[in-house]
Amino acid sequence: MTVTETRETNPAAGDESRPIGFGRLQRKEDPRFVRGKGKYLDDIVLPGMLHGAILRSPVAHAKILSIDTTEALAHPKVLAVITGTDLEGLNLAWAPTLSYDVQAVLATDKVRFQGQEVAFVIAEDRYAARDALELIDVDYDILDPVIDVRKALDADAPIIRDDKEGKTDNHIFDWEAGNEAETDAVFADAEVVVSEEVIYPRVHPAPMETCGAIADYDAIDGKLTLYETTQAPHAHRTVFALVAGLPEHKIRVISPDIGGGFGNKVGIYPGYILAVVGSIVTGKPVKWVEDRSENLMSTSFARDYIMKADVAATREGKILAVRTHVIADHGAFNASANPTKYPAGFFHIFTGSYDLQAAYCKVTGVYTNKAPGGVAYACSFRVTEAVYLIERMVDVLAAELELDPAQIRLQNFIRPEQFPYANKTGWEYDSGDYEKTMRLALSRAGYDELRAEQASKRANGELMGIGISFFTETVGAGPRRHMDILGLGMADGAEVRVHPTGKAVVRLSVQTQGQGHETTFAQIVAEEIGIPPEDIEVVHGDTDNTPFGLGTYGSRSTPVSGGAVALATRKVREKAKLIAAAMLEVRPEDLEWEKGRWFVTGDPSQGKTMAEIAMGAHGTVELPDGIDGNLDAEVTYNPPNLTFPYGAYICVVDVDPGTGHVKVRRFIAVDDCGTRINPMIIEGQVHGGLTDGVGMALMEFIGFDEQGNCLGGSFMDYLIPTAMEVPDWETDFTVTPSPHHPIGAKGIGESATVGSPPAVVNAVVDALAPYGVTHLDMPCTPDRVWAAMQGRATPPI
């Protein structure tokens, strides 16, 4: 029997403006954010709190001959100055990185990049701490730096990591995926081979809020409370326990409101460790917050891949194989954040959305005198680089064969009936209907009309470009048998509790940074048990109050933690059924579910709402054996596979032939992230990511001069896009649910950042086709575009 769910018969049915479950629910967190009432790290003031500041190296590579802190210590407001030598005494001068390397917390022997941490001053206020930095005298013996990554492996290159015993070069790792021999064989017989060197320059996540920490060590009970800007509070706590030797149950990590993470807040920076040491040394809480330049110069950068690639195809445009060799610049310490087995992250998704016969990649990681990191900035571990490579190369091939870039993609897509699709480098794509999504994007764009417009403009000497990108991501890391970070399997926990009055709380291991988890995770609970989202409190960001899990990055919250929440809530629903049966004095088999309520089959008026059942659970009803008197459940979810969101993006640009200035005129983005929890939040995520992508394609990069001076150390030099540089986004969607995810959702948080740069660059290159340009490296700044138009080498990045 079916019951029509309306607000009258069932209060849990909701409506469009106030969905109880999935839909366009206004964000629950926004009332506090739009009123300036968010509580960010720097808003926290503890009684007696001191302030730390870091002295950083002005040079990229130098021996430290001496550090004199006498004058700084004499400053009336300074309480302590900590150097690497002090940390050596505590066995804390070096800390493990997320990639099984070590990184100097404070330099002892050498400095290895400009901006490296050298000393830490603790003073009564932030100004005094900064002033005292000027009073520290460091004597450096300058060494030749390694800046050009292509020269890092030369026999005469200076050795950066002479701290590592027996290290005689700057090599970090070689990693490969796919089958080299099979791939070479396909290439040997191919009718057409195109090759290109594609560079994804060093960029920076540049979140609005910089990184910081407040450490509060209580010497009496040995408890450390650590407020941190972190995307992964539980993982941080475990690492602190391992590194500092503090007992894990005596560490509480609190991650307050986070003003954007974008991967930048995954790692553990020296400043966090120094705040802890500072608090232990002074016996007072110590706050450390970096400034913008410190953030841009020393915290995790992203990308920095030089990718040489070849594509083998038939003359008709059937793509057969792709191979690539990448040189990855990891900076001075290998602090890249990746699951252990994958030193180049998920780069092996570079086979894209195409059905290939063979594929092979080799990635060589090297040290240079630059800041460490290599973080997944809006990118599930190097997926961004992979997507950029394949989507640029498909256009290179299309140009060579004089085929339409939309046509060549349609011709090569993995077809719907091929899913689950095992690609040639070890992934199993869960689901997709690529052609449908592509055709929707083409029709939304009016592709044929755009091409006609382009032809007539070209006849007038006007430069208009149309760029396409079709991307597949692999997000939701990941199955524990394949994926861990520092030995911690990549699962996530969730706890759901329904209080006696029918209000609920859900506790998460993941950590929102602006994505709206307080809304969407309440919506998952609402969808499953029909409690209105406003009656569901989402708790996160405090290790004392949430279950263990690996945190938010790589668009994994919905795929992993979202699964945990759905399954935990279903347990609550099943438990509610048993309790309802006891309350109604019927057998559980005789009950049917409609959102928010169990009722007797054949007699819908006999039923119990979740609120009634909650009260019943905590009340006096005789409960069946084995059922506790509560409506609580918890689950740790270990996903069986990752999810594979995808999308079709089309970008239209106009290039000024006189100046090389690129204007993004239109951008059409059709995304497929499976089941959509909150379409409004999804659109916001896509808008943000597209803006990111335009920034990287046209403006953003962290450059270095020959001495290793960072040229992107402020927002005067590191240009981030504003509303001025982007068009009104045109978004649309298709829905292909993930077959293995409890609610069919795939991640969306990074899709647009991943998918958009190739669309923009492909559009710029397309605009420049009349000049014979077939490739241009990002960022497509006016000077570089103009040089390309003159047939000149583009200025270095």
Residues at the interface with Cu ion (CB under 5 A) = 379, 382, 384
Q: Which stretch binds ligand PCD (CB under 6 A): 78-86, 174-182, 429-437, 678-686?
A: 678-686
Q: Where do runs of H (alpha helix) occur along 585-678?
A: 610-617
3-state secondary structure 154-179: CCCCCCCCCCCCCCCCCEEEEEEEEC
Work out how close the CB of 374 gets to ligand PCD at its nearest, in angstroms, rounded to a whole number. 11
Q: Which does 515 bind (CB under 5 to 8 A by kind): Cu ion, ligand PCD, none?
A: ligand PCD
Q: Which of 530, 674, 721, 742 binds ligand PCD (CB under 6 A)?
A: 674
**Of the two residues 145 and 554, which places its CB atom closer to ligand PCD in the complex?**
554
Closest CA to 159 of 151, 150, 168: 168
Q: With binding defined as CB under 6 A, does residue 745 bind ligand PCD?
A: yes
Q: Which does 405 bind (CB under 5 to 8 A by kind): Cu ion, ligand PCD, none?
A: none
- Cα angle for residues 520, 576, 586 (degrees, 5° grid): 150
Q: Which does 384 bind (CB under 5 to 8 A by kind): Cu ion, ligand PCD, none?
A: Cu ion
Phi, psi dihedral angles at 137 (to 5 degrees) = -110, 110
Q: Which of 555, 609, 641, 756 binds ligand PCD (CB under 6 A)?
A: 555
Contact 641, 479 (CB under 8 A): yes
Q: With binding defined as CB under 6 A, does residue 731 bind ligand PCD?
A: no
Cα–Cα distance, 45 to 51 (Å, whole number): 11
Q: With binding defined as CB under 6 A, does residue 378 bind ligand PCD?
A: yes
**Of the two residues 231 and 412, which places its CB atom closer to ligand PCD in the complex?**
231
Cα–Cα distance, 674 to 667 (Å, whole number): 22
Q: Are strands 223-228 and 358-366 parallel, antiparallel or unpaired?
A: unpaired
Q: With binding defined as CB under 6 A, does residue 750 bind ligand PCD?
A: yes
Q: Which does 203 bind (CB under 5 to 8 A by kind): Cu ion, ligand PCD, none?
A: none
Cα–Cα distance, 605 to 640 (Å, whole number): 40
Q: Which of 556, 597, 666, 741 binds ligand PCD (CB under 6 A)?
A: 556
CB neighbour list of residue 58: distance below 8 Å, 6 or more residues apart: 114
Q: With binding defined as CB under 6 A, does residue 558 bind ligand PCD?
A: yes
Cα–Cα distance, 694 to 502 (Å, whole number): 46
Q: Which stretch binds ligand PCD (CB under 6 A): 59-67, 83-91, 143-151, 673-681?
A: 673-681
Q: Which of 301, 354, 367, 377 binds ligand PCD (CB under 6 A)?
A: 377
Q: Which stretch binds ligand PCD (CB under 6 A): 4-12, 189-197, 373-381, 453-461?
A: 373-381
Q: Which does 275 bind (CB under 5 to 8 A by kind): Cu ion, ligand PCD, none?
A: none
3-state secondary structure 593-615: EECCEEEECCEEEEEEEHHHHHH
Amino acid at 47: P
Phi, psi dihedral angles at 585 (to 5 degrees) = 55, 45
Torsion (CA) 336, 339, 340, 343 in degrees, nearest 10: -50
Q: With binding defined as CB under 6 A, does residue 256 bind ligand PCD?
A: no
Work out how close the CB of 346 gets to Cu ion at its nearest, in angstroms, rounded to a whole number. 9
**Of the two residues 238 and 380, which places its CB atom closer to Cu ion in the complex?**
380
x/- mask, ligand PCD, residues 484-513, rule CB under 6 A, reads: -----------------------------x
Q: With binding defined as CB under 6 A, does residue 373 bind ligand PCD?
A: no
How many CB atoms sit inside 10 A of residue 360's CB?
26
3-state secondary structure 378-419: CCCCCHHHHHHHHHHHHHHHHHHHCCCHHHHHHHHECCHHHC
CA 738 to chain centre: 20
Cα–Cα distance, 504 to 532 (Å, whole number): 9
Q: What SS3 class is residue 523?
A: helix
Q: Which of 160, 673, 698, 767 binds ligand PCD (CB under 6 A)?
A: 673
Q: With binding defined as CB under 6 A, does residue 756 bind ligand PCD?
A: no
Q: Are strands 171-178 and 286-289 parallel, antiparallel or unpaired?
A: unpaired
**Of the two residues 342 and 354, which places its CB atom closer to Cu ion in the complex?**
342
Q: With binding defined as CB under 6 A, does residue 276 bind ligand PCD?
A: no
Q: Which stretch binds ligand PCD (CB under 6 A): 69-77, 90-98, 248-256, 680-688?
A: 680-688
Cα–Cα distance, 583 to 722 (Å, whole number): 58
Work out how close the CB of 191 gets to Cu ion at its nearest, in angstroms, rounded to a whole number. 33
**Of the two residues 364 and 513, which places its CB atom closer to ligand PCD in the complex?**
513
How many CB atoms sit inside 10 A of residue 64's CB?
19
The residues in 65-84 that bind ligand PCD, with binding defined as CB under 6 A, are: none
Cα–Cα distance, 22 to 7 (Å, whole number): 16
Q: Which does 553 bind (CB under 5 to 8 A by kind): Cu ion, ligand PCD, none?
A: ligand PCD
**Of the two residues 271 and 712, which places its CB atom closer to Cu ion in the complex?**
712
Binding site for ligand PCD (CB under 6 A): 207, 231, 260-263, 376-379, 513-517, 520, 552-558, 673-678, 681-682, 685, 688, 745-750
